[in-house]
Structure 1
Amino acid sequence: MRKSVFLPLLLVASLFLSGCGIIDRYFLPVPDDTVQEIFEAGNDAMQEKDYVAAAKYYSRIKDDYPFSPYAVEAELSLGDAYFLDKEYDRAAEAYRDFETLHPRHEAIPYVLYQLGMALQKGYISVDRPATQVEEALEYFHRLEQVYPDTEYAAKAEEQIAACRKLLAQREVYIADVYWSMSNYQAAWTRYENVVKNFPDVEDVAEYARKKGEVAYLRYREGTSEAIREQREGTWKNMFRWL
């Protein structure tokens, strides 16, 4: 009787011991050297300019091993991989995530600069809303104000000028559209906005000043003509009544 009970227990114990490898595989943390291999594979892909593959490696670390020693650097490198692949919307999202998760990290000045650059480069044409250029401008200003002694603050100054030129060109584009529609009052208003708000963008401001002067004259001519026609129409109606 005692022997018959012992044999099943021995069998269960042997199965348990043999299954430890399976338990380790599915329930225990993956050793850090495995994460290191993934991280190094991502770095190798970056060196080879295979940014799509690099992003996949870094995303895997970010999603599957968020507490790994390699996670923070992988999160930052993910933004760089997207940026170099010209996936600017994804890059901006990755940089935003990094800032949110690590607001005091030493790389934040770099992250803010890259975030501004991603937003700026994602703006492809003056006929599109310039919201992201305005947002980029905010990041560059913030970089100058909060981290003035960093190398990225100096770089931000140049990008602020670039963003302001894009915004001025966008405003002129809208003014030109109104001009083409013979809506000279609206065109003049837009040109005036450029002259007043973007004097530092000298070439665009000068163009807006010249076009604005003509737009204003045409607007006044149109107004005078409308008044004259209205008066003539009033007199004609009076004679018809008589």
Structure 2
Amino acid sequence: MRPLKVFATVVLFSLLSACSWFGGEKEVAPDVPEQQLYDEALSALEADNFALAIEKLQLLEARYPFGRFSEQAQLELIYAYFRSYEPESARAAADRFIRLHPSHDNVDYAYYLKGLTAFEQDRSFFEKYLPIDVSQRDPGAALESFESFSTLLNRYPESEYAPDAQKRMQYLKNRLAAHEIHVAAYYMKREAWVAAANRGRYVVENLQETPAVPDALAIMAEAYTELGMHDLAKNSLEVLQLNYPEYEIRPFKKASATLLQTATFGLLGGVEPAEPARPIPPSDRLRAQAQQRADAEEDKNERSLFSRMTFGVFDDEETEEAK
């Protein structure tokens, strides 16, 4: 029994000293001056080496938590996370800075970066280049971005980031309103009239001046009609016709199947429920305007060429015909 105890003791000491036998102690990096760490982090940011910048900024904050560059390093860290496509880390760093330094001179920058991080997270890579219907996607990131920009505008209306935040908020309002109408249209097809009417009313009351408002009014009018609330339905319809006289009203609810639909398995004989209107993307609108200007310039050049060829003889006749 005694040899067994001796053997167990030897094995135990061997395991405890295994680290020193095979790996040795890790070499501790020498202390780097605070100024040098900060300069190296800035150089990495300027070179778009965000992984190295994050490493330097984290080291700076860990070794000099109360140094003169500590607060600025926390701000730079938010930006580095944002540029390195780490949205969760960027938001966490922004929340931490806002919590620790609520009266800092540059706290508006932290709110702006937080909103910008969620804004870019909501816009996927494919959405930038493909016509994807964003109204069907989860609006969580868009809502978070809107709230951050809204806080920035309410608390710091004179901030240099306020104008850009306001423009992005308008895009986000259209995005959120389109999602609400998409959900309301789904409720209409499922005959959930109360839920659909509430979604439409939310758009009218909270997301005004968006392209989704006429759809919201049409859904309210139809849903209230189905619920027997004819006064509310009439009011919604009057507001819709007064403010959007060119809007084409179509039913959002799912129509009952006709005999022809049943015989053709739904391929013929029915009218599809109305789909929510889609706001025209700014890029498409600018492209259309540029095309119109190009066409007008081309027509102008053609007329001037004809005028030169005929020495202006037919200019008066063309003018009279145009009138």
- Pairwise TM-score range, normalised by the shorter structure: 0.5 to 0.7
Partner amino acid, structure 1, of 2:215: Y
Relative distance call for 1:120 and 1:77 in structure 2 (3 A) is same
Q: Which residue of 1 aligns with 2:104?
A: 105
1:189 lines up with 2:190 in the alignment? no
Partner amino acid, structure 2, of 1:196: E
What do the CA deviations read for 1:27-51 (whole angstroms, capped 9, x no partner)? xx9352xx33333332232222222
How is 1:27-176 mapped onto 2 (pairs within 5 angstroms)? 30=31, 32=33, 35-123=34-122, 126-127=135-136, 130-176=139-185
Relative distance call for 1:146 and 1:195 in structure 2 (3 A) is closer
Partner amino acid, structure 1, of 2:213: A
| 8 A contact 2:184–2:219 mirrored in 1 | no
Deviation at 1:94, TM superposition (A): 0.9
- Count of residues in correspondence between the two structures: 194
TM-score (norm 1): 0.66
TM-score (norm 2): 0.51
| 8 A contact 1:89–1:119 mirrored in 2 | no
Q: Which residue of 1 aligns with 2:24?
A: none
Deviation at 1:80, TM superposition (A): 0.2
Distance in structure 2 (CA, Å) of the matches to 1:86 and 1:173:
29
Relative distance call for 1:65 and 1:141 in structure 2 (3 A) is same
Q: Which residue of 1 aligns with 2:212?
A: 204
Unaligned runs of 5+ in 2: 1-26, 124-133, 229-252, 254-323
Deviation at 1:111, TM superposition (A): 1.6
Aligned identity (percent) is 26
Deviation at 1:213, TM superposition (A): 3.5
Deviation at 1:79, TM superposition (A): 0.3
Relative distance call for 1:198 and 1:76 in structure 2 (3 A) is same
Relative distance call for 1:36 and 1:159 in structure 2 (3 A) is same
Unaligned runs of 5+ in 1: 1-24, 223-242
What do the CA deviations read for 1:98-146 (whole angstroms, capped 9, x no partner)? 2222222221122222222223333356556545544433433332233
